[in-house]
Amino acid sequence: MKQLKLWIIIITLSLTVGSSFIAIKIVLDSIPPLFAFSIRFMITGVVLILVSYIFDRKSQEIKKITFWRNALLIGAFLILGGHGLIAYGAQYLSAGIASLLNSTIPLWVALFMFLIFHNKITNLTKIGVTLGFSGMIILVGPSIGGGSQGLSIVGIASLLISSLLWAIGSIYSIKVSLPQNFLLSAGMVTLIGGSLLLIPSILTGELNLLPSYSDIDFSLLTSYLFLIFIGTVIPLAEFYWLLKVSTAAVANTFAYIAPIVAVFLGWAILNESVTYLTIIATIVILIGVALIVRTSNNNNK
Protein backbone atom coordinates (compact mmCIF):
# COMPACT_ATOMS: atom_id res chain seq x y z
CA MET A 1 0.00 0.00 0.00
CA LYS A 2 2.83 2.39 0.87
CA GLN A 3 4.56 1.74 -2.44
CA LEU A 4 1.30 2.33 -4.33
CA LYS A 5 0.85 5.65 -2.52
CA LEU A 6 4.42 6.64 -3.32
CA TRP A 7 3.84 5.91 -7.01
CA ILE A 8 0.59 7.90 -7.05
CA ILE A 9 2.31 10.93 -5.50
CA ILE A 10 5.38 10.64 -7.75
CA ILE A 11 3.23 10.39 -10.89
CA THR A 12 0.95 13.33 -9.98
CA LEU A 13 4.01 15.36 -8.94
CA SER A 14 5.64 14.59 -12.28
CA LEU A 15 2.50 15.54 -14.21
CA THR A 16 2.15 18.90 -12.47
CA VAL A 17 5.86 19.75 -12.72
CA GLY A 18 6.05 18.69 -16.37
CA SER A 19 3.00 20.73 -17.32
CA SER A 20 4.31 23.74 -15.40
CA PHE A 21 7.14 24.17 -17.93
CA ILE A 22 4.55 24.88 -20.63
CA ALA A 23 2.91 27.49 -18.39
CA ILE A 24 6.31 28.97 -17.57
CA LYS A 25 7.04 29.63 -21.25
CA ILE A 26 3.70 31.42 -21.69
CA VAL A 27 4.14 33.51 -18.54
CA LEU A 28 7.75 34.50 -19.26
CA ASP A 29 6.78 35.79 -22.68
CA SER A 30 5.02 38.68 -20.91
CA ILE A 31 6.31 38.96 -17.33
CA PRO A 32 9.97 39.38 -16.27
CA PRO A 33 11.26 36.01 -14.99
CA LEU A 34 12.46 36.78 -11.47
CA PHE A 35 9.42 38.92 -10.64
CA ALA A 36 7.04 36.28 -12.06
CA PHE A 37 8.64 33.55 -9.95
CA SER A 38 8.87 35.75 -6.86
CA ILE A 39 5.13 36.44 -6.82
CA ARG A 40 4.47 32.80 -7.74
CA PHE A 41 6.27 31.47 -4.68
CA MET A 42 5.14 34.12 -2.22
CA ILE A 43 1.50 33.38 -3.06
CA THR A 44 2.23 29.64 -2.84
CA GLY A 45 3.83 30.09 0.57
CA VAL A 46 0.86 32.02 1.95
CA VAL A 47 -1.60 29.43 0.59
CA LEU A 48 0.31 26.47 2.05
CA ILE A 49 0.67 28.13 5.46
CA LEU A 50 -3.04 28.97 5.57
CA VAL A 51 -4.01 25.43 4.57
CA SER A 52 -1.69 23.98 7.21
CA TYR A 53 -3.32 26.23 9.81
CA ILE A 54 -6.79 25.05 8.79
CA PHE A 55 -5.82 21.41 9.45
CA ASP A 56 -3.76 22.09 12.57
CA ARG A 57 -4.90 25.25 14.31
CA LYS A 58 -3.19 24.38 17.59
CA SER A 59 0.27 24.15 16.06
CA GLN A 60 2.84 26.58 17.44
CA GLU A 61 5.62 25.45 15.10
CA ILE A 62 5.36 28.54 12.94
CA LYS A 63 6.65 30.62 15.87
CA LYS A 64 9.96 28.76 16.25
CA ILE A 65 12.93 30.84 15.07
CA THR A 66 14.99 27.71 14.32
CA PHE A 67 12.46 26.58 11.74
CA TRP A 68 12.46 29.97 10.01
CA ARG A 69 16.27 30.05 9.97
CA ASN A 70 16.43 26.62 8.36
CA ALA A 71 13.66 27.59 5.94
CA LEU A 72 15.73 30.64 4.94
CA LEU A 73 18.72 28.51 3.95
CA ILE A 74 16.57 25.93 2.17
CA GLY A 75 14.63 28.67 0.38
CA ALA A 76 17.91 30.18 -0.79
CA PHE A 77 18.92 26.88 -2.41
CA LEU A 78 15.56 25.63 -3.68
CA ILE A 79 13.79 28.84 -4.66
CA LEU A 80 16.32 31.67 -5.07
CA GLY A 81 18.99 29.50 -6.66
CA GLY A 82 17.07 26.53 -8.03
CA HIS A 83 13.94 28.17 -9.39
CA GLY A 84 15.55 31.56 -9.94
CA LEU A 85 17.93 29.98 -12.45
CA ILE A 86 15.06 28.04 -14.03
CA ALA A 87 13.24 31.33 -14.54
CA TYR A 88 16.34 32.92 -16.04
CA GLY A 89 17.42 29.96 -18.18
CA ALA A 90 13.94 29.09 -19.45
CA GLN A 91 13.92 32.32 -21.45
CA TYR A 92 16.56 30.83 -23.75
CA LEU A 93 15.24 27.27 -24.06
CA SER A 94 12.09 25.46 -25.10
CA ALA A 95 9.85 24.09 -22.35
CA GLY A 96 10.79 20.51 -23.21
CA ILE A 97 14.55 21.10 -23.22
CA ALA A 98 14.38 23.08 -19.95
CA SER A 99 12.50 20.23 -18.28
CA LEU A 100 14.89 17.64 -19.73
CA LEU A 101 17.94 19.41 -18.31
CA ASN A 102 16.14 19.64 -14.98
CA SER A 103 15.99 15.84 -14.88
CA THR A 104 19.62 15.62 -13.68
CA ILE A 105 18.44 16.37 -10.11
CA PRO A 106 18.33 12.72 -8.89
CA LEU A 107 21.85 12.16 -10.22
CA TRP A 108 23.18 15.11 -8.20
CA VAL A 109 21.29 13.90 -5.12
CA ALA A 110 22.84 10.43 -5.34
CA LEU A 111 26.33 11.84 -5.93
CA PHE A 112 26.13 14.36 -3.07
CA MET A 113 24.74 11.77 -0.64
CA PHE A 114 27.68 9.53 -1.53
CA LEU A 115 30.43 12.18 -1.57
CA ILE A 116 29.32 14.29 1.42
CA PHE A 117 27.50 11.84 3.69
CA HIS A 118 29.19 8.65 2.43
CA ASN A 119 25.85 6.97 1.92
CA LYS A 120 26.10 3.51 0.44
CA ILE A 121 24.83 3.30 -3.12
CA THR A 122 23.35 -0.11 -3.87
CA ASN A 123 23.80 -1.74 -7.24
CA LEU A 124 20.10 -1.29 -8.02
CA THR A 125 20.34 2.42 -7.19
CA LYS A 126 23.39 2.75 -9.45
CA ILE A 127 21.52 1.06 -12.27
CA GLY A 128 18.40 3.17 -11.63
CA VAL A 129 20.32 6.45 -11.66
CA THR A 130 22.28 5.39 -14.75
CA LEU A 131 19.11 4.42 -16.61
CA GLY A 132 17.34 7.63 -15.62
CA PHE A 133 20.24 9.80 -16.71
CA SER A 134 20.69 7.74 -19.89
CA GLY A 135 17.04 8.23 -20.74
CA MET A 136 17.50 11.99 -20.38
CA ILE A 137 20.51 11.84 -22.72
CA ILE A 138 18.49 9.87 -25.28
CA LEU A 139 15.85 12.59 -25.21
CA VAL A 140 18.02 15.69 -25.22
CA GLY A 141 21.10 14.37 -27.03
CA PRO A 142 19.80 14.62 -30.60
CA SER A 143 18.55 18.16 -30.00
CA ILE A 144 21.92 19.30 -28.69
CA GLY A 145 23.91 17.41 -31.28
CA GLY A 146 21.81 18.56 -34.20
CA GLY A 147 22.35 22.24 -33.54
CA SER A 148 19.03 23.08 -35.21
CA GLN A 149 17.48 23.92 -31.87
CA GLY A 150 19.90 26.81 -31.39
CA LEU A 151 20.35 25.88 -27.74
CA SER A 152 21.80 28.62 -25.58
CA ILE A 153 24.87 27.86 -23.46
CA VAL A 154 23.55 30.34 -20.91
CA GLY A 155 20.23 28.52 -20.78
CA ILE A 156 21.86 25.09 -20.48
CA ALA A 157 24.27 26.25 -17.75
CA SER A 158 21.45 27.93 -15.81
CA LEU A 159 19.30 24.79 -15.81
CA LEU A 160 22.14 22.48 -14.82
CA ILE A 161 23.28 24.75 -11.95
CA SER A 162 19.63 25.06 -10.94
CA SER A 163 19.42 21.25 -10.69
CA LEU A 164 22.59 21.14 -8.62
CA LEU A 165 21.29 23.75 -6.16
CA TRP A 166 17.90 22.04 -5.94
CA ALA A 167 19.64 18.76 -5.07
CA ILE A 168 21.65 20.46 -2.29
CA GLY A 169 18.51 22.13 -0.93
CA SER A 170 16.47 18.94 -0.91
CA ILE A 171 19.24 17.04 0.90
CA TYR A 172 19.60 19.85 3.42
CA SER A 173 15.83 19.75 3.96
CA ILE A 174 16.00 16.25 5.42
CA LYS A 175 19.11 16.95 7.49
CA VAL A 176 17.75 19.90 9.51
CA SER A 177 14.68 20.45 11.67
CA LEU A 178 11.50 21.75 10.07
CA PRO A 179 7.86 21.67 11.23
CA GLN A 180 6.29 18.20 11.39
CA ASN A 181 3.44 19.56 9.29
CA PHE A 182 4.83 19.18 5.76
CA LEU A 183 2.42 21.83 4.42
CA LEU A 184 3.79 24.36 6.89
CA SER A 185 7.38 23.38 6.04
CA ALA A 186 6.75 23.87 2.32
CA GLY A 187 4.91 27.13 2.97
CA MET A 188 7.69 28.64 5.07
CA VAL A 189 10.37 27.70 2.51
CA THR A 190 8.46 29.02 -0.48
CA LEU A 191 7.36 32.25 1.22
CA ILE A 192 10.93 33.08 2.19
CA GLY A 193 12.34 31.89 -1.13
CA GLY A 194 9.84 33.99 -3.09
CA SER A 195 10.72 37.02 -0.98
CA LEU A 196 14.42 36.48 -1.66
CA LEU A 197 13.75 36.35 -5.41
CA LEU A 198 12.15 39.78 -5.23
CA ILE A 199 15.53 41.32 -4.32
CA PRO A 200 17.39 40.52 -7.59
CA SER A 201 14.18 41.29 -9.50
CA ILE A 202 14.16 44.85 -8.14
CA LEU A 203 17.94 45.28 -8.49
CA THR A 204 17.85 44.29 -12.17
CA GLY A 205 15.06 46.78 -12.93
CA GLU A 206 12.36 44.24 -13.70
CA LEU A 207 9.67 46.45 -12.17
CA ASN A 208 10.07 48.77 -15.14
CA LEU A 209 9.36 45.89 -17.52
CA LEU A 210 6.03 44.76 -16.06
CA PRO A 211 3.15 44.54 -18.56
CA SER A 212 0.35 47.08 -18.37
CA TYR A 213 -3.15 46.05 -17.36
CA SER A 214 -4.27 46.10 -20.99
CA ASP A 215 -1.54 43.62 -21.92
CA ILE A 216 -2.82 40.95 -19.52
CA ASP A 217 -4.98 38.64 -21.62
CA PHE A 218 -6.92 35.49 -20.72
CA SER A 219 -4.12 33.16 -21.81
CA LEU A 220 -1.55 34.89 -19.62
CA LEU A 221 -3.86 35.07 -16.61
CA THR A 222 -4.94 31.41 -16.78
CA SER A 223 -1.36 30.26 -17.36
CA TYR A 224 -0.13 32.19 -14.34
CA LEU A 225 -2.93 30.90 -12.11
CA PHE A 226 -2.23 27.37 -13.35
CA LEU A 227 1.48 27.84 -12.66
CA ILE A 228 0.81 29.02 -9.09
CA PHE A 229 -1.85 26.58 -7.93
CA ILE A 230 -1.42 23.47 -10.11
CA GLY A 231 2.23 23.87 -10.98
CA THR A 232 3.50 25.01 -7.57
CA VAL A 233 1.14 24.60 -4.59
CA ILE A 234 0.25 20.96 -5.28
CA PRO A 235 3.70 19.68 -6.33
CA LEU A 236 5.52 21.41 -3.45
CA ALA A 237 3.10 19.91 -0.93
CA GLU A 238 3.66 16.49 -2.51
CA PHE A 239 7.44 16.99 -2.64
CA TYR A 240 7.66 17.81 1.07
CA TRP A 241 5.43 14.84 1.90
CA LEU A 242 7.83 12.61 -0.03
CA LEU A 243 10.83 14.08 1.82
CA LYS A 244 9.03 13.35 5.08
CA VAL A 245 8.17 9.69 4.38
CA SER A 246 11.00 8.58 2.07
CA THR A 247 14.42 9.79 0.91
CA ALA A 248 15.75 12.73 -1.11
CA ALA A 249 16.50 10.32 -3.98
CA VAL A 250 12.89 9.08 -4.12
CA ALA A 251 11.43 12.59 -3.67
CA ASN A 252 13.41 13.81 -6.67
CA THR A 253 12.52 10.97 -9.05
CA PHE A 254 9.84 13.31 -10.43
CA ALA A 255 12.67 15.01 -12.34
CA TYR A 256 13.04 11.90 -14.50
CA ILE A 257 9.35 11.64 -15.39
CA ALA A 258 8.47 15.35 -15.69
CA PRO A 259 10.49 15.79 -18.92
CA ILE A 260 8.40 13.06 -20.54
CA VAL A 261 5.27 15.02 -19.63
CA ALA A 262 6.78 18.23 -21.00
CA VAL A 263 7.81 16.56 -24.25
CA PHE A 264 4.40 15.00 -24.84
CA LEU A 265 2.59 18.21 -23.93
CA GLY A 266 4.85 19.98 -26.40
CA TRP A 267 3.64 17.47 -28.98
CA ALA A 268 -0.03 17.94 -28.02
CA ILE A 269 -0.01 21.73 -27.59
CA LEU A 270 2.85 22.92 -29.77
CA ASN A 271 2.61 20.22 -32.45
CA GLU A 272 6.15 19.03 -31.81
CA SER A 273 6.97 15.57 -33.14
CA VAL A 274 7.42 12.55 -30.86
CA THR A 275 9.98 10.14 -32.29
CA TYR A 276 10.77 6.53 -31.52
CA LEU A 277 13.69 7.82 -29.40
CA THR A 278 11.16 9.55 -27.15
CA ILE A 279 9.31 6.27 -26.63
CA ILE A 280 12.54 4.38 -25.92
CA ALA A 281 13.66 7.08 -23.47
CA THR A 282 10.30 6.92 -21.71
CA ILE A 283 10.67 3.19 -21.07
CA VAL A 284 14.29 3.56 -19.91
CA ILE A 285 13.46 6.42 -17.53
CA LEU A 286 10.47 4.65 -15.96
CA ILE A 287 12.53 1.50 -15.34
CA GLY A 288 15.21 3.64 -13.68
CA VAL A 289 12.66 5.37 -11.45
CA ALA A 290 11.12 2.03 -10.48
CA LEU A 291 14.52 0.71 -9.38
CA ILE A 292 15.28 3.79 -7.26
CA VAL A 293 11.87 3.68 -5.55
CA ARG A 294 12.06 -0.07 -4.97
CA THR A 295 15.56 0.14 -3.49
CA SER A 296 14.55 2.96 -1.15
CA ASN A 297 11.49 1.06 0.07
CA ASN A 298 13.58 -2.03 0.80
CA ASN A 299 16.10 0.04 2.74
CA ASN A 300 13.34 1.68 4.81
CA LYS A 301 11.76 -1.62 5.88
Q: What is the pLDDT of residue 108?
A: 83
Which residues neighbour 269 within 8 Å (Cβ) at sequence distance 6 or greater? Answer: 22
Distance (Å, whole) CA 280 – CA 184: 39
What domain count does the chain have?
A: 1
| CB under 8 A, 24+ apart: contacts of 76-79 | 76/169, 76/193, 76/196, 77/165, 77/166, 77/168, 77/169, 77/172, 78/165, 78/166, 78/169, 78/170, 78/173, 78/189, 78/193, 79/37, 79/41, 79/189, 79/190, 79/192, 79/193, 79/194, 79/196, 79/197
pLDDT tens digits, 159-180: 989 999 999 998 998 889 999 8
Distance (Å, whole) CA 244 – CA 248: 9
Residue 292 · residue 129 · CB < 8 Å: yes
pTM of the model: 0.82
Distance (Å, whole) CA 46 – CA 50: 6
Q: What is the pLDDT of residue 148?
A: 44
Residue 28 · residue 88 · CB < 8 Å: no
Residue 178 · residue 115 · CB < 8 Å: no
E-only strand ranges, 148-299: none
Q: What is the pLDDT of residue 272?
A: 63
Q: Which domain holds residue 118?
A: 2-300
Read off φ and ψ for residue 204, nearest 5 degrees: -90, 5
Residue 57 · residue 119 · CB < 8 Å: no
Low-confidence residues of the chain, pLDDT below 50?
Answer: 147-149, 301
